[in-house]
Amino acid sequence: MQTKRHLVVVAGIMTTFLASLDATVVGTAMPTITAVLGGLSIYPWVFSAFLLASTVTVPLYGKAADLFGRKPAFFVGVGLFMLGSLLCATASTMTELILWRALQGVGAGGVLPVTMTIIGDLYAAQERARIQGFFSAVWAVSSIVGPLAGALFVEVLSWHWIFLINLPFGFLALGIMATALEENVAAKAHRLDLLGALLLTAAATSLMWAMLTGGRTGVMSVAVRVAFVASAVLALLFVLQERRHPEPMLPPALLRIRPVAVAAAAGVCAGVILFGCNSYLPAFVQGALGLTPKDAGLALLPMGIGWPLAANLSGSALKRLGYRRSALLGGAFLVLGTSFFLRFDAHTSQALIMVAVGITGLGMGFSTTVLLIAAQEAVPWAQRGAATAMVQFARTIGGAVGVAVMGAALSASLRQQLGATPELLTLANEVMDPHRRGGVATATVAVVQGALATGLGEVFLGLTLAGLMAVVVTFAFPRGFAPAARATPSATSSPSR
């Protein structure tokens, strides 16, 4: 059987769209779900469980793709995602929904890294930049379609369909991948680093809980301090486990390969910028500027245009400028775009916001695409999955931790300006909701909007610093790194071992 590259791309785009859509589609349906299932006090974990599970499993899938082949890893990831989707639709309590969302996340964690690894096998570097542009567009479209789709399903059908809709498309993608991708991997005994996966999960969970709890309460309680210490100890144990395991999920040796190390470090910075924009820019538009959710969506739209545009252009940039200068070009756009954020205040025009977001999107498109390709080109086939996963994991964990840090900074700023009483802090939530804003005195709205603008200004400073750090890190990329372009692969995309 001959590998059909275009069909493989179609299957990858379908599953990537489903996994990325699920990160956003649930938001608009949650008020209805909460009304049915109850559990308002724990409903934020519906989002956190999915994000955490899909983050910490990325390296495990990357290593599995290297050890057992790309197709088995892809099938396991998509299969678990579909099973989680089905179970989410049958949940009768909020606790059940959180549990099945975590299972969904375990599956979703394998979709993007394995798909990007397959694309790395099938396409040479310059072609790959164009293909990755399509996947960038998928993420952009899903961030816009998700909230709208969630509202549509709730109003026309029922909340269960935000999960059930994944099943037919998932089965179709699996069928296409099964028939379109030919892969020959010699049978060999392998040992997955399950203990490493468990330690990484525990460390990340402890860290995120400590940061979110401490940032929300503003009090470094004994429990929060213990969680921070536990996270550090677990992270150290994870590093030791990776050094001793014969087939580690995140091989430390990869970080001695400079293109991989630079791509991972810059990925952390890019994750801070991406997650920070998506998390806090809508709060600025609705809270500090007093606009609507639709305006917040429009403010993020240029990111979905600039990113895939730059990703498609990065193939030409690689040919003319090489890896290092192309990545630095992306870093320059990141710094320029995020520097506009420093000018945001309660009187900022939406046009300026969209310009800033669009330029930032160009930076993300050039930087992330070029550095991921460089990391893939710097390693042999047997390490490409792990290298891809390391870069993807760095971006996601950087974003998750960055959002928690910025959330803590915002909470501290609001407490300082509005006071520490729950009643005053609740006003910030009411001012951000256009339906509840009218019930707040006009003078109070102005005070809260000013406080939000100041607090979010500190968040935006963090985004600019992340952009500057990305440039500094990229300067460490080796000069003259330009692996020979690989020929178009034959039907067999993986070597026998």
Picking from 211, 205, 11, the residue whose alpha carbon sits closest to that of residue 111 is 11
Mean pLDDT lowest among 14-23, 28-37, 300-309, 312-321: 28-37
Q: Quote the CA–CA distance of 133 and 156 in Å, as a whole number.
A: 33
> What are 432-449's pLDDT values in tens digits?
666 666 666 777 777 777
Q: Where are the domains of the chain?
A: 1-188, 194-244, 254-481
Alpha helices in 293-432 (DSSP H): 293-341, 350-377, 381-418, 422-432
Query: At residue 491, does pLDDT exceed 50?
Result: no
- Asked if residues 101 and 78 have their Cβ atoms less than 8 Å apart, the reply is no
Instruction: Supply the pLDDT for residue 487.
Output: 41
- Asked if residues 350 and 299 have their Cβ atoms less than 8 Å apart, the reply is yes
CB atoms within 10 A of CB 449: 19
Helices 350-377, 381-418: crossing angle, 10 deg rounding? 150
Tokens 């939406």 appear where?
350
Amino acid at 268: V
Instruction: Supply the pLDDT for residue 452.
Output: 82
Q: How many CA atoms lie within 13 A of 403 on its CB side?
A: 20
Tokens 């375990």 appear where?
106
The residue among 218 and 348 whose pLDDT is bigger is 348
Q: Quote the CA–CA distance of 255 and 268 in Å, as a whole number.
A: 14
CB atoms within 10 A of CB 62: 31
Class of domain 1-188: mainly alpha
Question: Which span out of 40-54, 107-121, 180-194 was modeled with the highest average pLDDT?
Answer: 107-121
The mean of the pLDDT values for the chain is: 79
Fold held by 254-481:
Growth Hormone; Chain: A; (1.20.1250)
* Mean pLDDT for the stretch of residues 148-170: 79
Mean pLDDT lowest among 56-60, 340-344, 364-368: 56-60
Domains 1-188 and 254-481 share a fold: yes
- Asked if residues 369 and 137 have their Cβ atoms less than 8 Å apart, the reply is no
Q: Is 22 exposed, middle or buried (0-12, 13-18, 19+ CB in 10 A)?
A: buried
Instruction: Supply the pLDDT for residue 279.
Output: 73
Mean pLDDT lowest among 308-312, 411-415, 435-439: 435-439
Mean pLDDT lowest among 399-403, 428-432, 450-454, 455-459: 428-432
> What are 260-280's pLDDT values in tens digits?
999 999 999 998 898 888 778
Q: What is the pTM of this model?
A: 0.75
Helices 45-56, 5-37: crossing angle, 10 deg rounding? 150
Instruction: Supply the pLDDT for residue 162.
Output: 81
- Asked if residues 424 and 444 have their Cβ atoms less than 8 Å apart, the reply is no
